[in-house]
Chains A and B, each alone.
Chain A
Amino acid sequence: MGREGVARCGKKMDFHLHFKIPGGELLRIGLEVHVQLPTRSKLFCPCPTNALEPNSSICPTCLGFPGSRPVLNRKALEMAVSIARFLQCRISPQVWFSRKTYFYPDLPKHFQITQYDSPIGTDGLFPVEGKNIGIWRVHLEEDPGRIKRVGKAGEEVSLIDYNRSGIPLVEIVTAPDLSSPDEARRFLAELMVELKHMIGTSGDDEQSIRADANISVGEERVEIKNIQGLRNLERALRFEAGRQQKLLEAGMKVMRETRRYDEERKVTVSAREKEFEEDYGYIGEPDLGVYDLTSLLNALPEVETPLRRAQRISTVYMVDYDKARQMVLTSMALADLFEEMAKRVHPEMAMNWTLGPISNSWPQILPRINEQVTRDIMETVKLVADRSITDSEGRRRIAAIAAGECPEDISCAIQDEVLESFISDYLDKHPQIIKDYSSNPKAANAVIGHVMKLAKGKYSSQEIVDAVVKEINKRKG
């Protein structure tokens, strides 16, 4: 397909939200997501995972030297179990590893240690906007090395960096339940938010996520291998769905094949036509034993992830989910503040204050959050709720707390005087306004606008309007 076709296709896709096909079939997407676990050492050896110089973090084990052996990284196993449990998988009480054999220069032993007939978790689910996406399996495996091609065409050489050899990965395989590229992207984005908080996976999503996608518009499915990052995932799927749809509309067949996404050209291209399915000849990994997960499961603390928390907050406090979500995504500490506040004031109000004034000053508040600051914030909102102070006073106090000042230092009375003096000064200079006001209340807008400018956001517009109307009425006598 040429570039022109690509562009047309890309445009066309925007009108097809659900990719309905003439035959009535729906787009089906399944993902195999590879997440790098943030351990300090590799999956089977003590080599550090953060090396920069090529081949600087390698040892006999991750190079597959004869006589070397894998020793499982406990931390990686724990993280994988946490993920499987989080995805509501059935967790096998006992797990073991397998050898997946194939020849490739970046794979030192020419087999990869992975889990085949004994994944850590099976049959889980992950909800995305109310829809449950099935999780077929969650398993742990080692990454191979990385090949770099250098030199000009015809004289290229392959350089291999084994720093990645043995880096721990968790593979999450979904059912083909995703029905649009957008949904696939959201699935992955939400999953990463949760995992980032749960096990501390890298925040740089475009780098740390790799996925293989299976996508079918008609009967035959196509696998797109090794897509890097969220943006590319959505683009690749969009392109591929369009490609398949066009083929079907033209009465042609979709070929079962493996493709890859060309990031430069933004198209999927055929990776190789498989004459036969590769046979990996799996056997059990005899150097590693059988791991009993029962005690590990009991010992692992259950962490409440951000989106789970948003869900709970919206249910328990009967507040809007999207607001709760926005709040937890801003910061889990902000949500802590909210839950503390919702015990003292109405949750609706707590949410408005948390997402409003507090959230606005959050970058200043977060670094200095402590018991005193929390207490000051609670006290302030409580005073507003009790109508002991006005909204704007409350806001001023929050701003003061954010600035590290004592909230009580800013006296309400003094501030009100300032507001009144702004209004009086202006009305003294523009007496016409009071005359005009009787026939046209909009005449007050000039004062309001002026005062707002002067007040620099210290008062709410309603407060200013109230004060202006009050002053005009007083002068009208």
Chain B
Amino acid sequence: MSHSMSLSELQALNQRYQAFTELSNDFTCLQDLSNRTHFSAKDNLCALGFQARAGSKILEGYRPPFDATAVRRMKEEGAILIGKTNMDEFGFGTFSTNSAYGIPRNPFDESRSCGGSSGGAAAAACLLPGHVSLGVSTGGSISCPACFCGVIGLTPTYGRVSRYGLIDYANSLDKIGLLVREAASLQRWLPVISGRDSNDPTSCAQPPLTLSGRGIESVAIPREALNHLDPDVHRTFNKALASLIGEHGIRIEEVSMPSLRYALSAYYVLATSEASTNLARYCGMRFGVRNPDITKHFNEFFAETRSAYFGTEAKRRILLGTYARMVGFRERYYMKALAVRQLIISEYQRIFHDFDAVLTPTMPFLAPKLDDVKKMRPLEVYQADFLTVPPNLAGLPHISLPCGYIQSLPVGMQLVAPHWEERVLLDAARKWTSTFTLKFPEVSF
């Protein structure tokens, strides 16, 4: 593995790991890029010259007429887009097994999941040194695959990075972030993709990004977050804590966050409610696949296209979301979830009064085998997100850092900072990786 990987080698590598759904042909070898950074965009980010299918069959053949703002800003800074990365359909999933374009494989163990939904992005970051992956998180879709693939995953504050050109899952939760091998890459590229964008009103109210200033000194650990952990993960996490206290002199205290146990329910209600409205436009009429029989009544025409081309998980979330916002249920689910969200935000704020960040493991277990994923029921899958959902629901910036290895599989820890305080996370990543060496697997074509 080196920078000098040729395009054909990259293609061969991708055959094996399925990190990319589409690769650019505009370069012969990654070495050609010399001083330019190569980057990839998750398939739900629009980029000229590539399809944007968001992992879904229903968008087969769709070529957007514009670049997502984050993609455009990367290009303008000289980075070269080498491909689109694989993902769960529209971001719906925790293991990247819901893609219509193959399942990305974990570079640490091909029989295991990369995590999701930005599984391809994490795999690409892990496989290619110096690579910058643009990922997207709604409920943990950057943290989770970063953890399983042993890379650093940064999810900025909601609104920090413009969502213009991002194919929506849940607009009030979606955030574009970075998956990289080195903390220095965050320092370099976060300012590039950040900033106001008149094309996205929710990006316009942000204070400027500052990367210097006071670093991380204290963290809180919610005790509710430590239930249901795999014992190996728990042990590894505790070892990391010891190192944080001992080597880095960080003050660590356990706190209580009772609202955490409502976070998952609130998240799935809000996310699916918004998703079900976003997915309404995919009906085979204006872009993506088209049912050739246009003589039918529009209702039938739409229904047939949607039945044929949406995946099972997409259908499940459309039904769930539609249900939660119907008359009679709206108050009971949608409105209540909004209230829970406020509660969680204020609980975080209470903690941030005394601490620089909140710390938990990222995922409660190691990257699962794809065979085991198949056996999981939807609810079990949803519950896997219980540590990554709360900061996403609150729109707080967070980072997943590798913090240990069990049988050569990475374990991750997740730090959550106050709104707009990305610098706390970048400081923590820099400090942590100055003493902790990230391991990457030997990969072959």
Contact = CB atoms under 8 A, between A and B. Distances in A.
Contacts of B218: none
A104 B285 CA distance: 11
Given A66-B167, A67-B168, A289-B205, A283 B334 contact: yes
Given A64-B281, A103-B298, A286-B274, A69 B164 contact: yes
Interface residues of B, number: 45
B2 interface: no
Nearest to A71: B201
Contacts of B54: 66
Given A69-B163, A70-B201, 4 more contacts: A65-B287, A69-B200, A69-B201, A281-B322
B168 A103 contact: no
Given A103-B298, A105-B298, A289-B205, A67 B165 contact: yes
A60 B286 CA distance: 11
A72 B201 CA distance: 8
Contacts of A136: none
B141 interface: no
Interface string B148-173: 00000000000000011111101110
Given A101-B277, A105-B285, A108-B281, A66 B52 contact: yes
Nearest to A72: B201
- Taking each of A71, A104, A108, which has the highest tally of chain B beta carbons within 10 Å of its own beta carbon? A71
Interface in B55-106: 59, 62, 64-66, 68
A110 B306 CA distance: 13
A104 B298 contact: yes
A99 interface: yes
Contact of A282 (B64, B66, B325): B325
Contacts of A67: 45-46, 52, 64, 66, 68, 164-168
A475 B190 CA distance: 108
Contacts of B299: 103
17 contacts: A60-B64, A60-B65, A66-B46, A66-B54, A66-B64, A66-B281, A67-B45, A67-B66, A67-B168, A69-B201, A71-B198, A103-B299, A108-B286, A111-B280, A279-B326, A283-B277, A283-B334
Given A108-B281, A282-B325, A60 B168 contact: no
Interface in A270-310: 277, 279, 281-284, 286-289
Contacts of B65: 60, 65
B283 interface: yes
Interface in A26-42: none
B202 interface: yes
A286 B64 contact: no
B202 A110 contact: no
A288 B203 CA distance: 10
B281 A287 contact: no
Nearest to A66: B167
Contacts of A105: 285, 298
Nearest to B285: A105
Interface in B301-340: 302, 322, 325-327, 330, 334, 338
Nearest to B165: A67
A63 B201 contact: no
B15 interface: no
Smallest CB-CB A-B distances: 9 pairs: A110-B280, A286-B172, A286-B171, A281-B325, A66-B167, A67-B165, A67-B46, A109-B281, A64-B281
Contacts of A60: 64-66
B195 to A, nearest CB: 16
- Taking each of B200, B277, B302, which has the highest tally of chain A beta carbons within 10 Å of its own beta carbon? B277
A58 to B, nearest CB: 11
B124 to A, nearest CB: 21
- Taking each of B201, B276, B285, which has the highest tally of chain A beta carbons within 10 Å of its own beta carbon? B201
Contacts of A65: 64-65, 286-287
A355 B286 CA distance: 58
A283 B278 CA distance: 11
A114 to B, nearest CB: 13
B273 interface: yes
B334 to A, nearest CB: 6
